């Protein structure tokens, strides 16, 4: 039994500016991260697989409207939602992913079914939805994904006629998520730092296997049909028992060009560097060279974890076997 079992999660790199974050919104984020970690930790403690633990943690984060995945996803340029997700099992190198789905309640569960029940790895759009329907997964009306905060964020991005990474309108989101807030107007202009949503989980189970899962609504005001790094194995999600499991968040186009998740694993395999060193190099050295902003979470088969980000913050946390979950937002 590998008692180094651990789960780590993220809810996006880039956060609401500290100055704009109210105590109650901050507490809501910590509570949501804590709940997802505790659920994943329970799966691991019961002897469940890393794959089950990351599926469950990401499913919960998808259901939480605070994060840009599942309910609470950002809007496309057409005022719709298109969701992407991927999952990978480090013990078998099996993977499943879906992109551009509009009505699947939990994209991560669809990705999981692709991993388990399809000979293919990635389904898109209509084909992904037909596959999910045939698997008996839950479908919802598009309005299910709507939140006031993301809708206003989209209107802002649309008026400026540009795509915007989630949390660009972070102050917006902060004011909209705040309870008892009777001032719906944003208090500050859009943060010039790019901000990202997306959720992910990586885990090492008691049997010594790792897995990774990532899910997103993408970027605000993205063109219809745009696919980012999240559902691409090697870019936004990767897992191999021999090296590590990785889930990313950030400017998807740059993470794709850097094959960011796989690069962490490849550096460990080919350069024999530690998880920490490989993850740091990708996030702090390689991605910034092409203006790639964001972060990642990673775990190796010995239970080491790395949670680097090059943005102001990253919603994140980890829970080791038998210990209290730890959550954090800022540096």
Q: Which residues are annotated as a binding site?
A: 226-229, 249-252
Q: Which stretch binds ligand ASP (CB under 6 A): 98-106, 114-122, 124-132, 195-203?
A: 195-203
Nearest to 68 by CA among 12, 107, 109: 12
35: tokens are: 């709940």
Is 216 catalytic? The answer is no
Could you say whether residue 249 binds ligand ASP (CB under 6 A)?
yes
Q: Give the nearest residue (CB) to ligand ASP.
A: 252
What the block records as the tokens of 185 is 């107007």
Site for ligand ASP contains 12 (CB under 6 A): yes
Start-to-end Cα distance in the chain:
33
The structure tokens 């024999």 sit at 272
Minimum CB separation of residue 248 from ligand ASP in Å reads: 7
117: helix, strand or coil: helix
Q: Give the number of other CB atoms < 10 A from CB of residue 23.
A: 8
Q: In a 10 Å sphere around its CB, with 0-12 CB exposed, 13-18 middle and 19+ buried, how is residue 203 labelled? A: buried
- 311 lies in the site for ligand ASP, by CB under 6 A: no
Interaction of residue 313 with ligand ASP, rule CB under 6 A? no
Residues annotated within a binding site for substrate: 226-229, 249-252
* Bridge partners (DSSP) listed for residue 123: 98
Question: Minimum Å distance from CB 253 to ligand ASP?
Answer: 7
Site residues for ligand ASP, window 100-119 (CB under 6 A)? none
Q: How, if at all, do strands 122-124 and 94-101 pair?
A: parallel
Between 29 and 68, how does the x/- string for binding to ligand ASP read (CB under 6 A)? ---------------------------------------x
| Alpha-carbon span 284 to 77, nearest angstrom | 31
> Which listed range, 248-256, 279-287, 297-305, 319-327, lies at the site for ligand ASP (CB under 6 A)?
248-256
3-class DSSP state for residue 56? helix
Q: How far is the CB of 252 from ligand ASP (least distance, A)?
A: 2
Q: Which of 15, 76, 198, 214 is catalytic?
A: 198
Which is nearer to ligand ASP, 42 or 151 (by Cβ)?
Answer: 151
Q: For 164, which DSSP code?
A: B
For residue 211, which of 169, 261, 259, 175 has the smallest C-alpha distance? 261
Counting residues that bind ligand ASP (by CB under 6 A) gives: 17
Residue (41 or 198) nearer to ligand ASP, CB: 198
**Both tokens assigned to 327:** 């959550």
Q: Catalytic site residues?
A: 198
For binding to ligand ASP (CB under 6 A), which residues are involved?
Answer: 12, 68, 165-166, 196-198, 216, 218-219, 228-230, 249-250, 252, 294
């Amino acid at each position: 039994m590998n008692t180094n079992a651990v789960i780590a999660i993220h809810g996006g790199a880039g956060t609401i500016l500290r100055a704009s974050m109210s105590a109650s919104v901050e507490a809501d984020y910590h509570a949501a991260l804590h709940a997802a970690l505790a659920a994943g930790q329970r799966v691991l403690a019961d002897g469940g697989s890393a794959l089950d633990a990351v599926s469950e943690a990401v499913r919960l984060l998808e259901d939480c409207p605070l994060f840009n995945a599942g309910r609470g996803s950002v809007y496309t340029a057409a005022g719709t939602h298109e969701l992407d997700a991927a999952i990978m099992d480090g013990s078998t190198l099996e993977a499943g992913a879906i992109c551009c789905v509009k009505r699947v309640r939990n994209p991560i569960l669809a990705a999981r079914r692709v991993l388990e029940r399809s000979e293919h790895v990635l389904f898109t759009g209509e084909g992904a939805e037909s596959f999910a329907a045939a698997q008996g997964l839950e479908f919802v009306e598009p309005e299910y994904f709507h939140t006031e905060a993301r809708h206003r964020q989209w209107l802002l991005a649309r008026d400026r006629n540009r795509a915007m990474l989630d949390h660009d309108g972070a102050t917006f989101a902060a004011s909209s998520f705040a309870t008892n807030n009777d001032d719906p107007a944003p208090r500050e202009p859009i943060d010039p730092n790019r901000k990202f949503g997306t959720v992910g989980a990586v885990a090492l189970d008691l049997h010594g296997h790792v897995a990774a899962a990532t899910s997103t609504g993408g970027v605000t005001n993205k063109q219809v049909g745009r696919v980012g790094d999240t559902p691409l194995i090697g870019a936004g999600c990767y897992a191999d028992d021999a090296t590590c499991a990785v889930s990313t968040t950030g400017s998807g186009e740059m993470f794709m060009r850097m094959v960011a998740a796989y690069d962490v694993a490849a550096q460990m395999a080919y350069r024999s560097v530690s998880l920490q060193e490989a993850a740091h190099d990708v996030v702090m050295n390689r991605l910034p060279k092409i203006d790639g902003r964001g972060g990642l979470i990673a775990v190796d088969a010995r239970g080491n974890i790395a949670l680097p980000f090059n943005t102001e913050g990253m919603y994140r946390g980890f829970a080791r076997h038998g210990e209290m979950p730890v959550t954090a937002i800022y540096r």
